[in-house]
Amino acid sequence: MSRLLGLAKLAACLLMGMTLATAQEIPELVKPDPKNWLTYSGSYDSQRHSPLRQITPSNVHSLAAVFAYHMAGQRNLEVTPVVKDGVMYISQYNRIDAIDARSGNIIWQYQRQPLNDGAQRGTTVYANRIFVTTADRHLLALDRRNGSVLWETAVHDNLQLAGGAPLVAHGKVIVSGNQPNGFIQAYDAESGKYVWEWHPVPHSADEPNARTWAGESWKTGGSPIWLSGSYDPESRLVFYGTGQPNPVWSGATRAGDDLYSDCIVALDVDTGTLKWYFQTTPHDVHDWDSEEMPVLVDAVYQGRPRKLLLQANRNGYYYILDRTNGQFLHGTPFVSQLDWSSGLDANGRPILVPGHDPSVQGTKTCPSTAGATNWPSPTYDPATGYFYVVAQEGCGLNYLESSAPDAETGYLESPREHESWQLYVRALDALTGRKIWDYRQIASHHYGPGLLSTAGGVIFAAEELGQFSALDARTGKPLWHFNTGDMLTAGPISYSVDGRQFVAVASGTNIFAFALPRAPGAGRGR
Amino acid sequence: MTKVFPALVLAALATGALATAALAQRAPAPNPNPFAGNAQAVAEGMALYNRSCTACHGFNGTAGEFAPGLGQPGRRYNRRSDAQIFDAVKNGIPGSAMPAGAGRLSDEEAWKVVSYVLGLRGTAVDAPAPGDAAHGAEIFWGKGACGTCHMIRGRGSLIGPELSNIAGMRKTNSILDALTKSDHRVFGDGGAIPHTLLPLATYQRVRVTPAKGAPVEGLLRNEDSYSLQIMGMDQQLHLFDRAGLRAVEYLPGSLMPSDYDKRLTPQEFNDLLAFLTRQAAGRETATPSAVGDPD
């Protein structure tokens, strides 16, 4: 049967005349040129580390804004722009703006009607293609040189795509979504043809994970998937985090572990087959989804070279897994306020402290529902060996609306308004989770933006209320800052054009780009 | 002439729009909501709302993780009438993440949710407290000494919150709490996620000691990792870079007294509340003479 299918696929490929193009790894994605930033996380391993080293702790004080590009009609941009060969591509739902990455001048714009200002977080360049997720259940490939639509595919099963950036791996465009329940789908990057789907919540009682949901509670199981993933070209596995089970804050109707909610999963890139899973929060009643970016690192761990997967999870634990098989190697809290669990057992399963289920009168739990960290990306710097994460210290109240088994629920982020959270940029020893330094972001109390590390030894860390800061990667000492004048809820990137290193970040409705000043008069033309 | 013409057209259009709006106000279409103003339905609507809408919106109408609060004073609402909100509840909002709720809520339930949502948006001036507002103004400027920190339409002090539109921003309960409780909610939104940069909603007491010179005490208007903006007790704005400071102390407690129900007689307190619940910018109230100060 499978052989027949294979033959059919081969025939289809031949018919389309793209035997070679289909399912190919693109070298520039496997080993990106440091001058480009081609994917959401900058590289398949999601380290968000730029090998560029022009900007250093000793010269970053003279970093200056080069341009601000206004993304008209949008709001609160959460997008990570991508850059290839001097052109920056900024995506939203239904939209891509291509601009000169040196000057901010617009080159072309693609706008599918209508304008949509939902949170869409990025896209990927694949050869001369760039991908658009639409608000009306379509996936598009554009020619990155002029915005021409190369193909347009209705999303399989008419599902709505979430705002996570598409990931292109082994010739597949991988996208995800939430409604009605979580899913990951793959499309052929050349043709747009649907290839596979994987869903964390069973679609029938016959699926093995259905046993981990009481009765038929899997039918409304949730587990949204709304962030991009990571990819290991060697094993051809993609790694994604899955979302929380439904109902969100009440587990009464869904006794069991509710697999594969709140998991890190490894899927075969060609078939979508689940290779392994690791569940961070079994039977979650706090909305601690496991979407936080899985970071892939090859390192000597406890005396032998290992292929690791690192994740700072919303539930407050920092995990180290073997990414070849999902084996739990180490886990430790990375926030000081964690009261729902007293530790992890040998398999990484949390040991619960009783009394933290949401209640009608409200139950205080630390971290809060928004978590010890959230979607803003961490970064890993191979030079320091540190894993940098935006840590959210704080607690929350979780409510049940009534004592009925199917009661709906809610939450408050802090038990008392003046006990708001405090955000930190926190450097951890990547192989132990031990805290190295903290940088307190004064007045940042909600969802820090993502982080960027650079080979120059500078960490770029935006602050929620508009300050874009540069920190010393080794000490956390602030070296430079710039007030963008609007909310910052996006992750920064670095790229270079004509040998000049830039750092860029979205703030409010603008993209800001920074670089070291050039000699007076340099670059002046007629 | 050609230059003037577009302005004239615009003016005519604007006047036309205003006239239409005024007409609409005078002869409103009958409200289709069978529960408009029904307190029991509002309470039921709140329960339905907290059961059906809080996956995205926050509990009790606050902002949630995926959707905005529905009773925020600073927000301009696209959908204001009962019918418009009913449409959003039943049919969703196209082009946004707001889904159609028709399958989950009956029409009757949806109208109750509408009544609740509209109730969330009301502020003190929609139902001013009874009492002698003119006498309340005398208390405000006199015995209550409110003007030593607060300002209303240019009169008073710069230190505390400006109160010219307090009844248009806050609910009566919130104003009552401010007069009688030390730990009161100072902003109506209660939302989880700030979406725009706004001045601080709190009035944190702070003492800053510069490298040289005397400490400055006042109320924090803003701060970040690199600077502080402080309204001093001297009614002067003080701007500091953190780098040059010897100390920043956050002082406990509020400058605002919380015993007005004790330092004033019940009559005086009620009249002060009557005055405060009528302070709304650009709104006519039942007793226009009570607006403004008696000078």
pLDDT digits (tens, 9 = 90+) for A36-93: 999 999 999 999 999 999 999 999 999 999 999 999 989 889 999 999 999 999 999 9
Q: In percent, how much of chain A has pLDDT > 70? A: 91
Distance (Å, rounded) from C-alpha B260 to C-alpha A237?
67
What is the pLDDT at residue A404?
72
Residue A343 has pLDDT above 80, yes or no: yes
Phi, psi of B177 (to 5 degrees): -60, -40
pLDDT at residue A414, rounded to an integer: 63
pLDDT at A523: 54
Nearest residue of chain B to residue A442 (CA atoms): B225
Q: Look at A407 and B221; give whichever has higher pLDDT.
A: B221
**b/e for A41-51, b at 16 or more Cβ within 10 A?**
bbbbbbbbbbb
d(CA A379, CA A48): 5
Most confidently predicted of A410-414, B120-124, B170-174, B204-208? B204-208
Name the token pair of A327: 């084996």
The alpha-carbon gap from B291 to the nearest alpha carbon of chain A, in Å, equals 32
- Which helix (H) or strand (E) segment holds residue A329: the answer is strand A327-333
Task: Round to whole Å and give the CA distance between B133 and A185.
Answer: 65
* Model pLDDT for residues A397-446, shown as the tens digit of each residue: 888 877 776 666 666 666 565 567 899 999 999 999 999 999 999 988 87
Distance of alpha carbon A305 from alpha carbon A60, whole angstroms: 35
Q: What is the mean pLDDT of residues A259-264?
A: 98
Q: Is the dihedral of CA B119, B123, B129, B132 positive or negative?
A: negative
The residues, any chain, with a CB within 8 Å of residue B7's CB and separated by 6 or more, are: none
The C-alpha atoms of residue A130 and residue A168 are separated, in whole angstroms, by 10
pLDDT of residue A164: 96
Spell out which residues of chain A touch residue B50, defining contact as CB-CB under 8 Å. Answer: 401, 408, 410
The number of residues making up chain A comes to: 526
The yes-or-no verdict on residue B230 having pLDDT over 90 is yes
pLDDT in tens, A290-325: 999 999 999 999 999 999 999 999 999 999 999 999
Element of type H or E holding A230: strand A230-232
CA–CA distances in Å: residue B41 to residues A281, A406, B33, B36, B80? 39, 22, 11, 8, 18
In this structure, the number of other CB atoms found within 10 A of the CB of residue B15 comes to 10
Q: Is the peptide bond between A240 and the residue preceding it cis, with omega within 30 degrees of 0?
A: no
Where do we find the tokens 């554009």?
Answer: A142
Residue A354 C-alpha, separation from nearest chain B C-alpha, in angstroms: 25
Q: How far is B59 from chain A (nearest CA, A)?
A: 5
Under an 8 A CB cutoff, do B95 and A135 touch?
Answer: yes
Question: Which of A401, A413, A483 is the closest to B51 by Cβ?
Answer: A401
Chain B residues lying within 8 Å of A248, measured CB to CB: 55
Q: Is the pLDDT of residue B232 over 60?
A: yes
Q: Is the pLDDT of residue B119 over 90?
A: no
Count CB pairs under 8 A between chains A and B. 78
DSSP for A12-32, please give it.
Answer: HHHHHT-TTTTT---HHHHS-
pLDDT for res B118: 81
Of B58, B95, B223, the CB nearest to A116: B95
CB-based contact B192 A446, cutoff 8 Å? yes
CA A412 – CA A419 distance, rounded (Å): 12
**Lowest-pLDDT range, A331-340, A433-442, B93-102, B179-188?**
B179-188
Using the Cβ of B202 and the Cβ atoms of chain A, whether some distance falls under 8 Å is answered with yes
Residue A524: predicted pLDDT: 53
The span from the CA of A237 to the CA of A240, in Å, is: 10
Q: Is there a contact between A446 and B52 if contact means CB atoms under 8 Å apart?
A: no
- How many angstroms separate the CA atoms of B168 and A306, rounded? 62
Q: How many residues are listed for chain B in this entry?
A: 295
Q: CB-based contact (8 Å) between B196 and chain A? A: yes
The answer to whether B243 faces chain A, any CB pair under 8 Å, is: no
Going by the DSSP 8-state scheme, the letter that residue A58 receives in this structure is T
Report the pLDDT value the prediction gives residue B3, as an integer from 0 to 100.
36
- Residue showing tokens 């109320």: B219
Which tens digit of pLDDT belongs to each residue from B3-36?
333 333 333 333 333 333 333 344 456 788 898 7
Query: Contact B225/A411, CB-based, under 8 Å?
Result: no
Q: Mean pLDDT, to the nearest integer, of A268-288?
A: 97
pLDDT value of residue A413: 65
* Long-range Cβ pairs for the range A69-73 (8 Å, 24+): A69/A97, A69/A99, A69/A104, A69/A106, A69/A510, A69/A511, A69/A513, A70/A509, A70/A510, A71/A97, A71/A506, A71/A509, A71/A510, A71/A511, A72/A509, A73/A115, A73/A117
Residue B76 clears pLDDT 70, i.e. is over it:
no
Nearest residue to A48 via CA among A505, A519, A516: A505
pLDDT at A417: 54
- Check residue A415 and give its pLDDT: 58
CA–CA distances in Å: residue A162 to residues A112, A240, A374, A447, B269: 17, 14, 16, 19, 53
Q: Is A108 helix (H, G, I), strand (E, B) or coil?
A: strand
pLDDT digits (tens, 9 = 90+) for B260-282: 999 999 999 999 999 999 998 76
Please report, rounded to a whole number, the percentage of residues in chain A having pLDDT higher than 90.
80
- Asked whether A376 and A491 are in contact (CB, 8 A), the reply is yes
The answer to whether residues A299 and A430 touch, using CB atoms and an 8 Å cutoff, is yes
CB A238 within 8 A of CB A267: yes
Residue A518's pLDDT is 87
d(CA A97, CA A123): 12
pLDDT tens readout for residues B44-67: 888 888 888 887 887 777 777 778
Q: What angle do CA B39, B44, B50 make, to 5 degrees?
A: 125
Return the higher-pLDDT residue of A154 and B71: A154
pTM: 0.80
Nearest to B195 among A76, A118, A467 (CB): A76
Q: According to the model, what pLDDT value does residue A419 have?
A: 62
Using an 8 Å CB-CB cutoff, list chain B residues near A116: 95-96
Q: What is the mean pLDDT of residues A122-145?
A: 96
**Is residue B289 scored above 70 in pLDDT?**
no
- Of the candidates A171, A157, A158, the one whose C-alpha atom is nearest the C-alpha of residue A124 is A171
Closest C-alpha to A243, from A302, A335, A314, A337: A314
- Average pLDDT on A185-196 reads 97
Look at residue B72 in the predicted model and tell me its pLDDT: 64
Tokens coding A198: 């994987």
Contact A467 B224 (CB under 8 A): yes
**B224 touching A, CB under 8 A?**
yes
How far apart, in whole angstroms, are the C-alpha atoms of residue A77 and residue A122?
10
Question: In terms of pLDDT, which residue wins out, A109 or A10?
Answer: A109
Please confirm, yes or no, whether A289 is among the known catalytic residues. Answer: yes
Interior CA angle at A315 toward A314 and A321, to 5°?
85
3-state helix, strand, coil in chain B (%, to 5): 40, 15, 50
Distance of CA B65 to the CA centre of its chain: 21
Residue B197 binned pLDDT confidence (cut-offs 50, 70, 90)? low
Is residue A131 within 8 A of residue A124, CB to CB? The reply is yes
Average pLDDT over chain B reads 78
Q: What is the pLDDT of residue A222?
A: 94
Of A232, A287, A289, A381, which one is the catalytic site residue? A289
SS3 B5: helix
Average pLDDT over residues B117-146: 89
Helix (H, G, I), strand (E, B) or coil at A220: helix
Share of chain B above pLDDT 70, in %: 75
Please report the ipTM that was assigned to this predicted complex: 0.77
| Packed helices B39-52 and B107-121: angle between N→C axes, nearest 10 degrees | 100
pLDDT in tens, A82-115: 999 999 999 999 999 999 999 999 999 999 988 9
B222-251 mean pLDDT = 93
- Of the pLDDT bands very low, low, confident and very high (cuts 50, 70, 90), residue A525 is low
Rounded mean pLDDT of chain A?
92
Residues of A with Cβ-Cβ distance to B224 under 8 angstroms: 442-443, 463, 465-467, 483
**Does the distance separating the beta carbons of B193 and A447 come in below 8 Å?**
yes
As given in the structure block, the two tokens for residue B74 are: 């600073």
Cβ–Cβ contact B58 with A under 8 A: yes
Cβ separation of A248 and B55 shorter than 8 Å? yes
Find chain B residues with C-beta within 8 A of A485's C-beta.
197
pLDDT tens digits for range A191-224: 999 999 999 999 999 999 999 999 999 998 899 9
CA of residue A464 relative to chain centroid, distance: 18
Between these two residues, B183 and A282, which has the higher pLDDT value?
Answer: A282
Q: At residue A140, does pLDDT exceed 80? A: yes
Do residue B195 and residue A466 have CB atoms under 8 angstroms apart? no
Which of A465, A468, A483 to probe the B interface (max B CBs under 10 A)? A465
Cα(B199)–Cα(B186) distance, rounded to whole angstroms? 13
